[in-house]
Amino acid sequence: MPAPKPFPAPTERHPVLTLDGTPHEETVFLKSVIAHPNITVGDYSYTTDFSGNRDYAALLAPYLYPGAPERLEIGKFCSIAHGVRFITASSMHPMGGVSTYPFRIFSRDDISAYREECAGRGDTVVGHDVWLGFEARVMPGVRIGHGAIVAACAVVSRDVPDYAIVAGNPARVVRMRFDPETVARLLALAWWDWPIAAIQAALPAIEAGDLAALAACAPATCELAANPS
């Protein structure tokens, strides 16, 4: 593989260029296009969407309103395919009685009990280096672990372990990407937190799945080698 070119800034709106050099307008770094008080997005996480809707907060989390009692947190280096939706807690109807009809949403004075029920479902959290496939659905309060893969059209209604592959409705673990020891080593390395220059230097190791080489590229390791005590 050739040496990687300089990486775009995480604030770049359209980081992908087509063959003729024009920006691929359907692909965006989410950090550059979402300014929603209830959504946080890590560096370099992107989506590709062909719907023409450019309100990316509403596109990804249509029920999450500013000031809602829950949050959506997306980590770094996540890949989010067309049609992915986060169905956050504010979409839920009351289920403690005999009817699910949301009678009290029509009065701002009465809605507080519903907000409390929504808050109890918790935030939706996506870890780092997660791939969410075409039209996947993520339900309220779910945590998707680092390095996980969510298959196309999966409905994720429970937490996903780090480095698991899940598919189906409801989504279930199909297999783990790596054995427990490798997962522990990857979590300890946390390459997604390295400076982007260090990540690019480690790209051959990342692409080859060579953990020893990846560990040797870790910024702390390199600094120790350069400055032995």
Q: Which of 14, 24, 93, 128 is catalytic?
A: 93
Which residue from 189, 190, 137 is spatially nearest to 166, judged by alpha carbons?
Answer: 137
Across the beta sheet with 39-41, the strand order is 39-41, 72-74, 124-126, 143-144
Question: What DSSP assignment string belongs to 150-181?
Answer: E-TT-EE-S-B-TTEEEETTTTEEEEESS-HH
Tell me, yes or no, if 82 is annotated catalytic.
no
Tally of CA atoms within 13 A in the half-sphere of 201 that contains its CB = 12
Q: Measured between alpha carbons, how far is residue 220 from residues 78, 157, 200 in Å?
A: 24, 38, 16
- Residue type for 111, please? I
DSSP classification of residue 185: H
Which residues are known catalytic residues?
A: 93
